[in-house]
Amino acid sequence: MAHWGGDLMHGTTRRTPLATSQPTEHPIPRPTPPRTVADDAAAPDVLCFGETMGMITPTETEALDQASALTLGTGGAESNVAAHLAELGHRVAWAGNVGNDPLGTKIVRTLDRAGVDTRWVGHRTAPTGLYLKEPDTGSGARVFYYRAGSAASQLSIDDVAGWPLQSASWIHTSGITPALSPSCNALVEYVLDHAAEHGAQVSFDINYRPALWPLTEAAPRLLDLARRATVVLVGLDEAQTLWGCITAEDVRALLPTVAYLVVKDSSIEAVEFRLADGEQSVTRVPARRVDVVEPVGAGDAFAAGYLSALLTGATAVDRLATGHSLAAWALGSREDFRPGRTLSATSRTAELRR
């Protein structure tokens, strides 16, 4: 048993006035028909971008070096968020590069089946990235990446010109993407700085991956990028590793002007700091016990649930609660993205509350 999820019946919100010199947030856009994409009723409201890879994992719960049967799947933080958002009824696209290889084809087909728009996926001669995921056999799940020089690492600012920024009111990415290559690093900064010119806002999930870049490089860069976003999501454990934070309030002190800062402490609570019209509100929704099969993918599910609730005008308590509910759902599976088409978001929440 492990802590995750939230008690949907409880949450606290505290409001604190801030100095009038503090910037105020922009109104959060609701899902709307496309603004300027002519004659395209299916243009996305949400655009997620980053790397999605092929994933190989033992069919049974056993170590990789002991496994005789393996399962081939797909996984990627931003595309996981996109798939959850699609299930929740949002028009969402995923943009990224895949190789001209069977893994790239599988990724596109998997996302298509999940209801994610893949029209802006680039196909390159470089290979699709791959990772091996070892289930938790007593010492925690482990992941081994084979992504250096991948097609996704070739993403650059030049790719943005072809993306549907004129229809998307929301853009989502993570701290994985800038770690892939210098061109990806520049791309994330560019999107964060220029999204508003297209009427879009950006959510940024820190998603620190120590295997991708050294702490001395990642810590200042992720903090700099986070300060440019409308929504930032970060685990308290990540913040402690990156910046030495002990509490959610320590994270807020580093990111005082982010309109929506969500700090997740999986065993205790999730905390939202919201800045609006010179006033800060702090909302906490406690964790509760759920049966954990595997933690990989739960953070992406939380992000999707939170963003979906935010985009549809839910209260702060409900935003965090929806994030908890989807995370708890994901924790019950070894899949990076656990589909749940037979359960609506409401019935899924009810199921998790029993």
Q: Strand, coil or helix: what is 140?
A: coil
Mark whether 300 is an active-site residue: yes
Asked if residue 320 lies in contact with residue 38, where contact means CB atoms within 8 angstroms, the answer is: no
Mark out the alpha helices in 4-115 (DSSP H runs): 77-87, 102-113
Q: Which helix (H) or strand (E) is 319 found in, with range?
A: helix 316-331
| Token pair 């289930």: residue | 135
Catalytic residue among 159, 300, 318, 336: 300
Q: Which helix (H) or strand (E) is 132 found in, with range?
A: strand 130-134
Question: What letters, b where the CB count within 10 A reaches 16 and e where it falls short, cover 171-185?
Answer: bbbbbbbbbbbeebb
- CA 26 to the chain's CA centroid: 21
Q: Which helix (H) or strand (E) is 282 found in, with range?
A: strand 279-286
Residues 23-27: contacts with CB under 8 Å, at least 24 apart: 23/257, 23/275, 24/275, 24/276, 24/277, 24/278, 25/230, 25/259, 25/260, 25/274, 25/275, 25/276, 26/196, 26/201, 26/230, 26/259
Asked if residue 16 lies in contact with residue 30, where contact means CB atoms within 8 angstroms, the answer is: no
Identify residue 263 by its one-letter amino acid code: V
Active-site residue set: 300
